[in-house]
Structure 1
Amino acid sequence: MLVFETLLVLLLGVVVLSLIAERMNAPYPALLAITGALAAFLPNAPRLDLPPELILALFVAPVLLDAAYDTSLRDLRANWRPVGSLVLFAVGLTTAAVAAAAHFIFPDIPWGAAVALGALLAPPDAVAALAVLRQVSPPYRIRKILEGESLLNDASSLLIYKLAVGAVAAGGFSVTTAVPTFVVVVFGSAVVGWLLARPVKWLINQIDDAPTSVILQFVNTFGLWLLAEHLGLSAVVTTVVFGLTIARGKGDDLPARLRVPSFAIWEAVTFVLNAVAFLVIGLQIGPIFEALAPGQRWSFGLAALLMLGLVVGVRLAWVMLYAVRESRAVARESKTPRLMPLGVKGGVVIGWSGMRGIVSLAAAMALPTDFPYRDFIQLTAFVVVFGTLVVQGLTLKPLIAALRIPHDGGVDHEVTLARRKALKAVLAGFEDDPSPAAARVREEYSDVLSRVKDGEEPADMPHNALRRRAVADARHAIAELRRSGDIGDDAYRQVEAELDLLELSTHAA
């Protein structure tokens, strides 16, 4: 019962703190982490002692798959250079810098342990950054670069981390052995994710019941992650490739009555997992702090703060270097590129969006009990994760506002294009139908098309406002019938569901 009660307390805390963050117009990840850290030192503070492997599967797998499913493959291809520079070079430079600094401060730390520390601190948690970015509507390209980075940076860092931990157990670290292993694991993971996507997608499409379909989707998500772990592959790469592949296809793979509840459930679950993960991050300072001897707390704490400054500085320096080089390359081109260069302002935003998260902390907690400098590594992981969440998380929004980066409006243009194309297809389908009903539909959709061309939102159009008013009147009428006993709940719920669909059709997505 204690675990269940603790979980209820955490979920209630998530709801309350999320509402407070919304009222304060502040990012909820930072507020949750601060509250968790404060609660960790209270008497009888809640503890949620989960195995690190379970933490990764529970908190990372569904969020990662959901992000991969929503990722635009077109935009990922268009931004492969900046995304690749973050996933490979920024992670590699951060790992090397942290490892060198750790070895300088503690000369007796094995290089394998130092590299493991650098690897687990290297990957930013873009979920926290995106939670802030959604509030300020940043330029489209900046958001897509951060989304692309969030899909893959955990893969490169966790692979280096696993190789480094294995090297400590083997008594040495060999680059000539690590690089081929890295390449084979990445390639094998991508192949497995791609191969499994098709049969799983076919199986999901055979199910005609929404609850069963959603359950199967989550079982597939966790099962895929665990399978990759058992095969010695990268669960991150496998999940990302699986999500990207399963999302590609016809728009009618799932009927609307399955897709709408599925998306709603996934949105709720991923939000809860993200929020609980940030709260758990704060709570971890209790057991980490208690494991340190009094003399270690100051020395390890100061070294951890140095690592915090180092990981922030390395990312900023690399991103700014890339942004400046890209701007100079674009200036030399004769034609205007389809994607505008990042520039100094864009580089500052991406460089400052380097908050660390649950992956770094879970990797630190998963180290063997006899791992060299384990207590220091865990404390450093907490300091870096907590420090970046609070400092960068709370200042990212004011920074974007101060830089005054203009909104590019790229998505708005594409939404208008898609609406016009869809409406023209509707009108074309009724051209040869002489019936009065078809004439009424043509008249209505022609009016919608003309308004869309003028930039008007569908939800604001007069006919939709009338429909919403009609739905409200209809809801009142059937509620009166149920109250009077003229209809039962079965009939009421069926008509209510029909009115729900009609109401949804009057709102823009």
Structure 2
Amino acid sequence: MNPTTGLQMLLLAGGAIAVAAVARRKDWPAPLLLVAAGLLVSPLMPPVALDPELVLFVFLPPLLYSAAFDSSYLRLRDVRRPVALLSVGLVLFTTAVVGLVVHLMLPNLPLAAAFALGAIIAPPDAVAAVAVGRKLGLPRRTLTILIGESLFNDATALTAYRVAIGAAVGGSIDLWEGAREFLVAAAGGVAIGLALAFAFAWLFRHTRDSLVENTLMLLIPFAAYLAAESVHASGVISVVIVGLYLGNQMHLRGFGTRLVSDSVWKVSDFFLETIVFALIGLQLVTVVGGIVGYKPWEVVLYAVVVFLVTVGVRFVWVFAASYMPRLFNRSHVVPPPQQLVVVSWAGMRGVVSLAAAFIIPDIPDREMLLFLTFTTVIATLLVQGLTFPALIRRLGVSSEQERYEDKLAEASAQQAALEAGLAELERLASQDGESDEIRRQVIEQLKEKSWRRSLTAWERLGGGTGQDGAETPSSLYSRLRRDMLQAERQVFVRLRDERRLDDEVLREMMAQLDFEEAMLER
């Protein structure tokens, strides 16, 4: 990289962060503001190339890993049917319908190339939709479906894309070969992901160093992605499997690892997503400049049709997949229509689609395919993204009942954990044998702490042993309190595993205990 390119990337990063900072201060959706800013400044600056390999091998793995790591395996398991229908069925359905429509509009475009375009724009990127949905209180099930779809749909789309491009170059489409390639890639991704997940989990059990563990975590998504892609398996699925497994096992790590991990991935996600959405808007000049041989009205018509078909296909699939099972099973529960509309409208596309379009080989109408991809990504982000909040408010979709139930569950879990912690304290106190005044004071302080969960003078005292070698009050307090905290954590995890506590609530309560344990460190 020459100094000029390096300076350009530095200015890009700085400008994107500044725009994101304004969005956060004004409480605006940062992804949409970044895309709009990129569109505005694109004609005013030298072209900024979007390197597909940079997106697929540098940006995509950590973003996927972070999303999977922060997701709930149990909740995803509960919605596996709708997630599978969206991440596999809808992607293939969109590929076919969009491909046929584009082939009808552009008869000179090979059918395989049209299908490649369909595969490119098929997978939505749920970053913007989930950010808005969380802020406006979408039900947890709806958010989980959108997150699960975004975790797995890239694997389906990229496989379909490779099959279609191979057919466009080779001259024929072999559906059976495509299905076999997808199954092999998916199975390989799962196998590699599980193998790496077990290996890293074993390594973490023997590390016990928060700095080392979090440094390793930064390498895990790249290792999982490259390991799978090197044997032609799905790197996307491999990364997601590792992230889900290690995220579900995070309660086994030390409190320091959890506290540092949360901050590390928040900063990483913010930085990578900021750059990615800015890069999307900055491709305007590059993409539009490649369109030649078409009248302006034709180009606009093609873009509008592809956008409308892409949006319409999602509505058709979501409602059909939700209502058709009722024809065969009358006990099938159909989600409320309001939630189906929200899921249907949450189809914003992202940088993975654009990166895939940039690696299209030299085939007829390549520039038109790139242009249609770009306009679809921009239109879904701006049209659907900007109207998404108003749609949620208009439909009255809310998680208010869930939040109330979470508070009840948290109160119940806190009570159970409190009882477990006090029982552990009584057991430890009885093991100490003869009890002196200092021990009685420390034990009473611990009991009070369990109720108040606030800082005390005992925690601010230093030292471990006195001049006579006896354990000081603060050291005794810290030792006993750590054992109590561990007993409380076990209760929280048990209640989560029994499905009496949601993962989000578990994380919040574990964070409270982690911060308290951090305060015990000298």
If the length of structure 2 is used for normalisation, what is the TM-score?
A: 0.80
- Which residue does the alignment assign to 1:415? 410
Correspondences of 1:2-401 after superposition (within 5 Å): 2-42=4-44, 44-45=45-46, 47-249=47-249, 251-252=251-252, 254-293=253-292, 295=294, 297-325=296-324, 332-333=330-331, 341-368=334-361, 370-401=362-393
* Contact 1:33–1:281 (Cα < 8 Å) also in 2: yes
Does the 8 Å contact 2:96/2:118 carry over to 1? yes
Q: Does 1:505 align with 2:516?
A: yes
TM-score scaled to structure 1, two decimals? 0.82
Aligned to 1:438: 443
Unaligned runs of 5+ in 1: 449-462, 475-500
**Contact 1:204–1:217 (Cα < 8 Å) also in 2:** no
Distance, in Å, in 1 between the alignment partners of 2:132 and 2:392 is 10
Matched, 1:427 2:432: no
Query: How far 1:324 moved relative to its partner?
Result: 4.1
> Retained in 2: the 8 A contact 1:326–1:342?
no
Distance change (3 Å), C-alpha of 1:261 and 1:367: same
The 8 Å contact of residues 152 and 236 in structure 2, kept in 1 or not, is answered as yes
Q: Distance in 2 between matches of 1:110 and 1:97?
A: 15
User: Share of identical aligned residues, percent?
Assistant: 33
1:319/1:502 CA distance change after superposition, 3 Å: closer
Is the Cα–Cα contact under 8 Å of residues 111 and 173 in structure 1 kept in the other structure? no
- Residue 228 of structure 1 aligns to which amino acid in structure 2? A
Kindly provide the amino acid, as one letter, of the partner of residue 417 in structure 2. A
Offset from partner CA, 1:301-360 (integer Å, 9 cap, x none): 321221011111110222123344578999x54xxx9xx852100001111100000110
Cα deviation digits, residues 449-488 of structure 1 (max 9, x gap): xxxxxxxxxxxxxx63xx49x99xx9xxxxxxxxxxxxxx
| Count of aligned residue pairs for this structure pair | 452
Paired residue type of 2:344: G
CA displacement, residues 2-22 of structure 1 (integer Å, 9 cap, x when unaligned): 233223222222332223223
Q: Which residue identity lines up with residue 352 of structure 1 in the other structure?
A: W
Cα pair distance change 1:250/1:258, threshold 3 Å: closer
Residues 184 and 502 (structure 1 numbering): CA distance in 2 closer, same or farther, change over 3 Å?
closer
Q: Relative to structure 1, is the Cα distance of residues 347 and 326 closer, same or farther in structure 2, using a 3 angstrom cutoff?
A: farther
1:417 to 1:351, Cα distance in 2 relative to 1, 3 A: farther
Matched letter for residue 180 of structure 1: R
Rate the CA distance shift 1:267–1:506 in 2: closer, same or farther, 3 A. Answer: same
2:294 match: secondary structure:
helix
Shift of 1:411: 4.0
Structure 1 position 504, deviation (Å): 4.1
Query: 2 CA distance for matches of 1:229 and 1:185?
Result: 9
Shift of 1:441: 1.4
* Structure 1 contact 323–346 (Cα < 8 Å) conserved: no
CA–CA separation in structure 1 for the residues paired with 2:59 and 2:343 = 24
Aligned to 2:474: none
State the AA in 1 paired with 2:254.
P
Task: Check conservation: 2:50, 2:355, Cα contact below 8 A.
Answer: no
SS in 1 for 2:107: coil
User: 1:161 is matched by which residue type in structure 2?
Assistant: Y
The answer to whether the Cα contact below 8 Å between 1:119 and 1:157 also exists between their aligned partners in 2 is yes
Alignment of 1:462-473 (within 5 A): 464=454, 467=455
Unaligned runs of 5+ in 2: 431-438, 461-511
Assess if the C-alpha contact under 8 Å between 2:50 and 2:279 holds in 1: no
CA separation of 1:406/1:133 partners in 2, compared to 1, >3 Å: closer, same or farther?
closer
Amino acid at match of 1:444: K
> 1:276 offset after TM fit, Å?
1.0
Residues 209 and 257 of structure 2 are in contact (CA less than 8 Å); yes or no, is this contact kept in structure 1?
yes
Q: Deviations over 1:162-182 (max 9, x none)?
A: 111112222211112211222
How far is 1:200 from its partner? 2.2
1:188–1:233 Cα contact (<8 Å) kept: yes
Q: SS of the counterpart of 1:232?
A: coil
Q: 1:411 to 1:231 in 2, by over 3 A?
A: farther
Deviation at 1:297, TM superposition (A): 4.8
Q: Deviations over 1:236-268 (max 9, x none)?
A: 11111122222333722x212222112211111
Q: CA deviation at 1:219?
A: 2.2
1:49–1:140 Cα change, 3 Å: same
C-alpha separation between the residues in 1 aligned to 2:140 and 2:407? 10
Contact 2:49–2:283, Cα closer than 8 Å, also in 1: no
1:151–1:240 CA contact under 8 A, matched in 2: yes
In 2, the alpha carbon distance for the partners of 1:502 and 1:168 equals 57
Asked whether the 8 Å contact 2:255–2:514 carries over to 1, the reply is no
